[in-house]
Structure formats: C-alpha cells, structure tokens
Amino acid sequence: FLEASDEDLVKRYEATRRRHPLASDDRVVEGIRKERLMMQSLKESADLIIDSTGMSPHDLRDRVRDLFARSPAETRVQVSIVSFGYKNGLPRDADLIFDVRFLPNPYWIERLRPLPGTDPAVREFVTSQRAYGEFIRKMRSLFNTVVPGYLEEGKSYLTIAVGCTGGRHRSVVVAEELASYFRKKGQSVVVDHRDLDHD
C-alpha cells in the first residue's frame, strides 16, 4: 500500500495541475481526506505500507525494485538488435542507431553479393576489414557504460539498430557480433534482420 503526507500529495497535485477526482470546488485537501477514508480498510489489510513522503519518482521506483526484485534475471535488460538498410528507412523503435556504412561493402564483390550477412564468407570479409575490430571494441566499451546506466534508470528494454545501405551484409554481421557479445554477458537477446530478404 502506498501513502504519503497530505502536504506531499497536495504538492504533487499542484505540480501536475490536476484536480483530485474526489475534490469539490478544486479543494485538493478535501479530496485527499475522502480518499483516505475510502482506502482505510485496504490499508489495514495490506502486508506492506510504503510511505512515499519526500521521495522522488526515482526514489520510489528504487524502493519498490529493492523490495520486489526476485532474481538476477529481473535486473537485466532485454536487448533487441535490429539490422536494417537505410534505403528502407530507420527502425521506429530504436533506442540506439549505429551506421556501419563506413565498412567496405560486400555488395561490390560479385561472389558475395547474393549471399546474406549470415554466410561465413560475408562474415569473414566484413570482420577482416581494418576498422572492424576497433569499431567493435568501442561499441563494447560503450555498452559496458550504457547498459548499467539504463538499468539504474529502470529501463528494462533496449533496442539497438545497426544499419548499412541495403541491410543484407554489413549490418547483419555487426548485429550478430553484438548479439554474441550480449549473450556472453548473460543478457537476453532477440535479433531481427529486418531487411535480410530485401533486394
């Protein structure tokens, strides 16, 4: 059961510029008094009462998480990795977007053109490029900072998009590399090669 002091509740209503649904004549204090009477029996039957007086929304979130987190899995981010082609547009739900068009394009190698980025020959071509290793190292370093930060902020889902021109070669290789990295870190990962079957 959540509660707070009358003073705190009045401040919250004023901050959001909302009227209390039980208040008449816009008297927030009157609405709070009526609500307390209505909720009294529920409060009496509660196993746990959290007084949120003086807490910010972040403080309250942390308190609830500390009380109810049951397993390490509940303190992980669900990572979704999407490979895509810029020519088909950006993924709408991406939190982070990485452009890998700086890597040489296997499309221009005739024997690699028809193959998908999941093919070992395409993967070998992309991963053997001089800039590839440094790029992956820097991405891992970034994620080592970003993912714990997202967890601290209460974010439970992270969508990473990796784009190249058509979404069939370079972005697929990098997306698979990132998926492997996150799996080794114990994260739950879903991979979607959005444009793999596009021409």
**Co-location of 36 and 117 in the same domain:** no
Cβ 177 vs Cβ 98: under 8 Å? no
In tens digits, the chain (199 residues) has pLDDT values of 889 998 988 888 888 888 888 887 768 888 888 899 999 999 888 888 888 888 888 778 777 776 776 555 555 788 999 999 999 999 988 999 999 999 999 999 999 999 999 999 999 999 999 999 999 999 999 999 998 888 878 788 899 999 999 999 999 999 999 999 999 988 889 999 999 987 6
Distance, C-alpha 109 to centroid of its chain: 36
Residues near 41 by beta carbon (within 8 Å), at least 6 away in sequence: none
Using the 3D structure, point to which of 68, 90, 107 is the last residue of a domain. 68
* Alpha-carbon gap, residue 79 to 101, rounded angstroms: 23
Residue span of the structural domain in which 116 resides: 73-193
**Co-location of 80 and 151 in the same domain:** yes
